[in-house]
Amino acid sequence: MRQKKSILGNDGFQSVLAALLCIMVGLLIGFLVLLAINPAGAVNGIITILKNFWNYPSHAAAMKYLGNTLVKTAPLLMCALSINFCYKVGLFNIGAAGQYVAGAGLCLYAALAWKLPWFVCLILALVAGAVFGTIVGFLKAYANVNEVISGIMLNWIGLYLVNMALSNVKEQASPYTLKLASTNPAAVLPTMGLPALFSKNKYVTIAIPLAILIAVAVWIVLNKTKFGYELRATGFNKEAARYAGMNEKRNIILTLMIGGALAGLGAAFLYLTGFEEWSCTQSSVPGMGFNGIAATFLGGLNPIGTIFSSYFIQHITSGGSYLDKAIYPSQISDLISAIIIYLCGFVLFFKFTLNKRLAAAADKNGQNANAVPEDAGKTETGKGGEKK
């Protein structure tokens, strides 16, 4: 019975195609903005952004900066996985940003104040994120509070709580937390020889392969396990899940708890490398959690796809910093990456349009004369929904 479909009909292929389309449109609009601000440097500008670490002429330097991009890809990927995981259950975990903050706060505090080793810090980051996620989950399950609202509000609570707590372990003269490598070397994530591949970039740690492994694990949990079956059923149709005897409340809480744990762990993947310090005076929630939303959609809502989309988004973000500051004001690099990332969120729209086009094309060909209109069933639901 199974018909050989054209590659265009394949869901995975469509996702990739839609993602590429998004990227192209994003780059085009970014280019137009550059053109509008200063036509002289536009072509070079967009190439600079795309080149990122290849802007360095020497292979060694390029590898080193590729390492830097990867270091920041790991936390982004974790945030994207957090959002992806929850999204499959029908929950929009915009609170990933706050869960990330909570993870960063606790792991840094544990590392700098309590001088705990890296693996304990890692676990604490996971726990902190999970606690934040669980709060949102409880509110959603038992009080039906929209997870977007409670998530966003918790983001700010988390930010100021962490700013306050980490002020105890910051440097005297600056708002930044103490250097991890000098304060507590035991808390720095092990590198397992990875820096050798990236021109001795010491920030390249096990965080990167670990994040990729976790992405694969998330895919397996969602698609191959009983737990994933329940979660996706809940995401697709809450009522049917309840009818099947699934514990909806428990699943909502567990989902957000796991989502929170992923985001929290993501923070540890960055801050326990010593690549960055926390600024205790920052007044905005780190963008990692929000960029994760774009990465999730660009990745076609597939954990594996998310690995690549996270890298791309980080690539663009890092690339933006190489824009010629003499031609463009310094904010422009962020603006351009933001525009491209914004367009990345349009993947579903592109995919939808693509599908419609394909359907129309198939329609014209008029193959397969099997007259069982599915719309009969659909109209029925539509009507049923209106009746109240």
Partner 1 sequence: MSEYAIEMLHITKRFPGIIANDDVTIQLRKGEIHALLGENGAGKSTLMSVLFGLYQAEEGTIKKDGKEVKITNPNDANDLGIGMVHQHFKLVQCFSVLDNIILGVETTKNGLLQKDEARKKVMALSEKYGLAVDPDALIENITVGMQQRTEILKMLYRDNEVLIFDEPTAVLTPQEIGELMQIMRNLAAEGKSILFISHKLNEIMEVADRCSVLRRGKYIGTVDIKSTTQEELSRMMVGRDVQLVATKGEAKPGKVVLDVKGIHVASKAHHNDAVKGVSFQVREGEIVCIAGIDGNGQTELVYGITGLEPITHGSLILDGKDITKASIRERSQTMSHIPEDRHKHGLVLDYPLDYNMVLQRYWQPDFVSGGFLRAGSIREYSDRLINEYDVRSGQGSITIARSMSGGNQQKAIIARELDKDPRLLVAVQPTRGLDVGAIEFIHRQLISYRDKGCAVLLVSLELEEVMNVSDRILVMYEGEIVGELDPKKTTTEELGLYMAGAKREKVGV
Please, what is the minimum distance in Å from the beta carbon of residue 133 to partner 1?
A: 21
Q: Which of the residues 352 through 381 are near partner 1 (CB under 8 A)?
A: 359, 362-363, 366-377, 379-381
Please, what is the minimum distance in Å from the beta carbon of residue 371 to partner 1?
A: 3
The residue type at 251: N
* Between 12 and 209, CB nearer to partner 1: 12
Among 4, 226, 284, 326, binds partner 1 (CB under 8 A): 226
Question: Which among 192, 211, 187 is positioned nearest to 73, based on CA atoms?
Answer: 211
**7 counts as binding partner 1 under rule CB under 8 A:** no
Per CB under 8 A, the segment of 97-105, 168-176, 222-230, 303-311 that binds partner 1 is 222-230
* 156 touches 285 (CB < 8 A): yes
Among 2, 58, 182, 193, binds partner 1 (CB under 8 A): 2
**383 counts as binding partner 1 under rule CB under 8 A:** yes
Question: Which among 95, 96, 101 is positioned nearest to 147, based on CA atoms?
Answer: 95
Per CB under 8 A, the segment of 199-207, 219-227, 282-290, 339-347 that binds partner 1 is 219-227
Please, what is the minimum distance in Å from the beta carbon of residue 298 to partner 1?
A: 22
Please, what is the minimum distance in Å from the beta carbon of residue 170 to partner 1?
A: 44
Distance CA 265, CA 129 (A): 7
Q: Which of the residues 144 through 203 are near partner 1 (CB under 8 A)?
A: none
Please, what is the minimum distance in Å from the beta carbon of residue 263 to partner 1?
A: 24
The residue type at 280: C
Task: Considering only CA atoms, give the Rg of the chain.
Answer: 23
Distant-in-sequence contacts of 299-302, Cβ < 8 A, 24+ apart: 299/19, 299/80, 299/84, 300/12, 300/15, 300/16, 300/18, 300/19, 300/347, 300/351, 301/15, 301/84, 301/87, 301/88, 302/12, 302/15, 302/84, 302/219
Number of residues that bind partner 1 (CB under 8 A): 43
**142 counts as binding partner 1 under rule CB under 8 A:** no
- Tokens read off for 55: 């802007």
**227 counts as binding partner 1 under rule CB under 8 A:** yes
Query: Cα dist. 45→42, 48, 54, 320 in Å?
Result: 5, 5, 14, 9
**239 counts as binding partner 1 under rule CB under 8 A:** yes
Among 236, 329, 352, 357, binds partner 1 (CB under 8 A): 236
Find where tokens 């509110």 sit: 139
Distance CA 93, CA 98 (A): 10
Query: Cα dist. 260→76, 129, 152 in Å?
Result: 14, 4, 13
Encode 71-80: b = buried (16+ Cβ within 10 Å), e = exposed: bbbbbbbbbb
Among 10, 146, 167, 237, binds partner 1 (CB under 8 A): 237
* Between 90 and 195, CB nearer to partner 1: 90
**8 counts as binding partner 1 under rule CB under 8 A:** no
Residues 6 or more apart from 239 whose CB is under 8 A from it?
none
* Between 36 and 369, CB nearer to partner 1: 369
> In the beta sheet, which residues pair with residue 170?
177
**4 counts as binding partner 1 under rule CB under 8 A:** no
* Between 193 and 373, CB nearer to partner 1: 373
Among 42, 241, 262, 316, binds partner 1 (CB under 8 A): 241
**229 counts as binding partner 1 under rule CB under 8 A:** yes
Please, what is the minimum distance in Å from the beta carbon of residue 213 to partner 1?
A: 18
* Between 246 and 335, CB nearer to partner 1: 246
Q: How many residues does the chain have?
A: 388
**244 counts as binding partner 1 under rule CB under 8 A:** yes
Binding site for partner 1 (CB under 8 A): 1-2, 224-230, 232-233, 236-237, 239-245, 359, 362-363, 366-377, 379-381, 383-384, 386-388
